[in-house]
Amino acid sequence: MATIFDVIIIGAGPAGLTSAIYARRAGKSVLILEKESIGGQIATSPKVENYPSIISISGTELMDNMMNQATELGADFDIDEVKHIEKVDGLFHLTGEYGNYTAKSVIIATGCSHRSINAKGVEDFIGNGVSYCAVCDGSFYQNQDVCLIGDANTALQYALMLSNICHKVYVCTLFDKFFGEDILVQALLKRENVEITHNLLLQEVKGSDEVEEVIFKDTKTEEIKSYAVKGLFIAIGQIPHNENFTNVVDLDKDGYIVATDDCFTKTEGLYVAGDCRKKALRQVATAIGDAALAATMAVKYLDQLK
């Protein structure tokens, strides 16, 4: 007979692993399913310095610690991508690429991925000058020159934040205007250390061990522009991965799962935590907060079933 877990958690990033820790400490059987690798986006960060009580730690080490804690508490783990969820007679049936699983409750913690740019050198310098999160990594570039690519609200907010930290911020957009709120645009235009250039397409990121130069092509004049910078921030959007769950959750226009403040979805017994849900801020701290709530609500749901 197939094992029926109390909780199946989809995703082994900060939200998924924290959910597992909370559920196991409450005495519930837990299976974590992860389609790729442990840790999610944060695992690629060379330094995490905004996690309370830890001055500095690599993303990989932080996630290894969380994984070890979850498994030491007795959580099971398997590599599989969940393709479909169905709730039948009070039980959740999960269809994976490699197997099928059954649980009394489910927590979706699939996170999201940053939208990248297919230009030479971008992938090579991730963690060594190329970043997708100014909130996470901006402080590493204090009094240095950086470049930011993006034209919507997140990019504008990042640029404003970086202008308070960095010596010079070059803001480059692919189109001929910004698509964010005007109040943010006007605030950015007033910053003396910000230089804005439109109609630029990234061609290459260059450097030895770390970023030293970013090269663009003007899409109208085809002129090549080069910036000598220490950091490149890419803020052109994120991609959630919730398309396999549309029968059991509601998604917003961007594909994020709609949930209550307590992480409830539209399906009883199904919860969501972390970057994959609709929210204002996507950080390790907020993912962990979501996870504590989601797991606590799942435990409460399971106890009521008895």
What is the Cα–Cα distance from 9 to 19, expressed in whole angstroms? Answer: 7
Amino acid sitting at position 196: I
**Catalytic-labelled residue, pool 6, 80, 112, 137:** 137
Residues in the chain: 306
Three-state DSSP at 138 gives helix
Strand stretches in 16-118, DSSP E: 30-34, 76-79, 82-88, 91-96, 100-108, 112-114
**Catalytic-labelled residue, pool 112, 136, 172, 263:** 136
Residue 211: name the closest of 284, 283, 149, 151 by CA: 149
Residue 286: name the closest of 299, 271, 274 by CA: 274
Count of beta carbons in the 10 Å neighbourhood of residue 266: 12
**Catalytic-labelled residue, pool 133, 172, 263, 276:** 133
What is the Cα–Cα distance from 285 to 69, expressed in whole angstroms? Answer: 17
Strand stretches in the chain, DSSP E: 4-10, 30-34, 76-79, 82-88, 91-96, 100-108, 112-114, 130-131, 145-149, 168-172, 194-197, 200-207, 211-218, 224-227, 231-234, 238-240, 270-272
218 catalytic residue (yes or no): no
276 catalytic residue (yes or no): no
* DSSP secondary structure, 280-305, as one string: S--SHHHHHHHHHHHHHHHHHHHHHH
Residue 5: name the closest of 98, 75, 108, 99 by CA: 75
Q: What angle do CA 61, 65, 67 make, to 5 degrees?
A: 115
Which residues carry out catalysis?
A: 133, 136-137
